[in-house]
Amino acid sequence: MRYASGPIRQGFVSVLLTSACLVCSAANDKPRPNIIVLVADDWGYTDVGAYGSEIATPNLDELAKHGARFSNFHVAAVCSPTRSMLLTGVDNHRNGVGNMPETMPAEHEGQPGYAGTLNDNAVTLATMLKDNGYHTYITGKWHLGKTPDKLPGNRGFERSFIQADSGSDNWEKRTYMMLYDKAYWFEQGREAGLPADYYSSKFFVDKAIEYIAASDRDKKPFFAYIGFQANHIPLQAPAEFVQKYRGRYDQGWTALRQARRDRSAALGLIPPGTDMVALASTTDWDRLTVDKKRQQARHMEVYAGMAEAMDFQVGRLLAHLKASGQYDNTVFVFLSDNGSDPADPLNIPASSTWVRMNYDTDADPPGGKGTFSANGPSWASATNSPLNGYKYFAGEGGLRVPLIISGVPGMPLSRTIKALTHVNDIVPTLLDVAGIKPHDGTYRGNKVEPLSGRSMLPMLQGKTDYVHASDEALGYELAGSAALFKGDYKLVKNIAPLGDGQWRLYDLKTDPGEVHDLGSSQPERFKSMLIDYEEYVRANGVLPIPQGFDLQKTAMRYAVWHFLVPKLKAAWPWAIPGLVLFFGGLLLAHRRRTRMIRIGTEPL
């Protein structure tokens, strides 16, 4: 069921709501604030300078200094489920994005809550702000549907230039993996090209500034959402940023993980001496050859350069707002959509063949146009320091990310907020900041999904120390990995290959690294929280993960149907020789890798 019954009614209701809003606004001395949401892609917990990073992020640090940084903020472990909650304030199983399309088990496809795109019963923040007199803009990554009815123009955004899928090349218009038949870009709902001088972070900010500048004339407040591709694979960045980090990572990932842990503790974000898990997926740096160490350090240099390049573009946006007199009346929200990504397509035979056929994987230094770089699990464990795990999984390394909020009227400056918070809390918070009453499960006369989160405004203004009571349970599930938060405690299980599917209990206040399992010493709490999780599953329609589910194999199945089949249809019958060569190459690569493992000569 749609929450609007037609364009005429929508337009009439919007006019009435906007008119009422403008009348109310005129009665107030201070105009309603502009709102800007900045979403980084795959940034780890300590990738921001204000969180203990060695990467230069002066503009994000400025926002933290003039606002609040959150040390205990949680999202989903992959991009589109987080984005769905960020834009609706509704649990992802209820808003249609129970999983990403790319990792959806076949048994879940078509089931309620598992469309992989936003459903019509979840109202977006953009819709609510637009109906209350805001301009609404989006640039960058969308990943919530690419059919016409699912594009931003039909979800409350009046102007948009978006990349529709999980990612794409940062230098040119092409797909980055064999998951899609092409790179899908849309401007105002129509397929669009990219300029010759395109670089993702710069272009997204250019477009946002263009949209914001065009709205200056009518003086209405605006909501701008920028979904950066930094630091999603492929890792690519302008050389002037990458060069700054030459030699910075020559000591390896274990040294970086420890250094970041210590700086984060010194900043008051985690307890001093926080214990850390030694992940089995982290290679021993000292066992690498000299050449391999150099190659791995180059990957991390590109990663750092890409992050700094994004921060630089954020600085351009801030400078524009200051020059136009809008900065002081703008609320900023910065977050990452999930923790660092452990994936390295070059370690997966099928994707490795495609990447090597389409990119230069041996460039030194990497990062430029036509090159492909990825960090893999070892660097991901360092950029997520001191947390356990990374993207795709329910450990804190996948779910706990940086959140910075600034510009909220009445908020104390330069604070660290340690209370448990969740991505679903952002929509009710921003509605509160804008003076808009959140819906109660009814919108435009139709029943819709109620908001799952709570407003953080009283906490931001120093009126309370928490958002969620200590006895309130917050559930989470994605692709079989799951968690239940309650007060300081977390119940969590992870599927293979990172986990064993068993539940564990941690006290996150003293043990954010999830090292000390309390399940056996606190059996009553363990049992109680497991009951809470089962209630979350029931209330939100969470489906059980099929036995033997494998993330990598599921992604390959998606690639067959959304990349290989469309290509074959377009090229048939001339594609047969190419197909033979492609799968022949996969077979040879697999045999070579198997033989090297057997004789113990596989390079590290």
- Which residues are part of the catalytic machinery? 79, 143
285 in Cβ contact with 253 (< 8 Å) = yes
Copy the structure tokens of residue 267.
Answer: 């900043």
120 in Cβ contact with 130 (< 8 Å) = no
- Which backbone phi and psi does 123 adopt, to 5 degrees? -85, 130
**DSSP 8-state assignment for residue 9:** H
- Distances in Å between the Cα of 261 and the Cα atoms of 117, 401, 462 are 37, 14, 28
The pairs formed by 314-320 with CB atoms below 8 angstroms and a separation of 24 or more are 314/38, 314/59, 314/60, 314/205, 315/58, 315/59, 316/205, 316/209, 317/36, 317/205, 317/208, 317/209, 317/226, 318/59, 318/62, 320/209, 320/212, 320/213
Alpha carbon distance 402, 310 (integer Å): 15
**HEC string of 184-220?**
CEEECCEECCCCCCCCHHHHHHHHHHHHHHHCCCCCC
Alpha carbon distance 4, 354 (integer Å): 44
The H-or-E segment that residue 481 falls in is strand 481-486
**Dihedral sign (CA 354, 359, 362, 368):** negative
139 in Cβ contact with 160 (< 8 Å) = yes
> What's the angle, vertex CA 397, arms to CA 179 and CA 270, rounded to 5?
155
Alpha carbon distance 296, 249 (integer Å): 9
Strand, helix or coil for residue 224:
strand
User: Which segments within 90-234 are labelled E, that is strand?
Assistant: 135-141, 159-163, 185-187, 190-191, 222-227
Report, in angstroms and rounded to the nearest whole number, the Rg of the chain calculated over CA atoms: 23
| Cβ within 8 Å of residue 99, ≥6 positions away | 81, 105, 108, 114, 116, 478, 479
**Dihedral sign (CA 390, 393, 395, 399):** positive
Alpha carbon distance 298, 365 (integer Å): 6
> What's the angle, vertex CA 334, arms to CA 63 and CA 326, rounded to 5?
55
Q: Residue 416's closest CA among 453, 372, 451, 465? A: 465
Beta 446-447 vs 442-443: how paired, if at all? antiparallel
Q: Residue 307's closest CA among 397, 445, 413, 201? A: 201
401 in Cβ contact with 336 (< 8 Å) = yes
366 in Cβ contact with 299 (< 8 Å) = yes
The β-bridge partners of 557 are none
Strand, helix or coil for residue 266:
helix
Count of CB atoms within 10 A of residue 462's CB? 12
Alpha carbon distance 93, 99 (integer Å): 8
Alpha carbon distance 306, 300 (integer Å): 10
Strand, helix or coil for residue 560:
helix
